[in-house]
Amino acid sequence: MADIKNKVPENAEGPFFVDDSCIDCDTCRCISPGNFRRSDEHGYSYVYRQPTTEEERELVEEAIDCCPVGAIGKSDEGLPAAVGVANTPERANGDISGSVEK
């Protein structure tokens, strides 16, 4: 699982990132070439551009699923609080208290 504390510095600002466990296998760049690039200097991939469309987001998430070492991650760090809130059924019904009835 990718670790936000170990993300490589070339990553574009945003929720998706590659960490230093990348083995430069080219999987992410093949799946989503518009979002990932290779650092020739360091020999790893990084998020060149955050996804801007639903299709791109799906491709980046496919890259996450296919990464053989789990070097690609998604973080809510730095995003507005509402973005990181889970879409739970109680929240969808308007209950923002955080409690769940059992």
Domain range summary for the chain, segments of one domain joined by +:
4-76
d(CA 51, CA 53) in angstroms, rounded, equals 6
The closest of 51, 69, 46 to 61, measured between CA atoms, is: 51
Residue 83 sits at the vertex; the CA angle it makes with 56 and 80, to the nearest 5 degrees, is 115
Question: What is the second-level CATH architecture of the domain 4-76?
Answer: 2-Layer Sandwich (3.30)
At 50-94, the pLDDT tens digits run 999 999 999 999 999 999 999 999 998 655 444 443 443 443 444
pLDDT for the residue 76:
81
The closest of 7, 11, 22, 80 to 49, measured between CA atoms, is: 11
DSSP state at residue 16: E
How does residue 99 score in pLDDT terms, banded at 50, 70 and 90? very low
pLDDT for the residue 40:
96
94 vs 4, residue with greater confidence: 4
DSSP H or E segment with residue 54: helix 54-66
DSSP state at residue 36: E
At 27-51, the pLDDT tens digits run 999 999 999 999 999 999 999 999 9
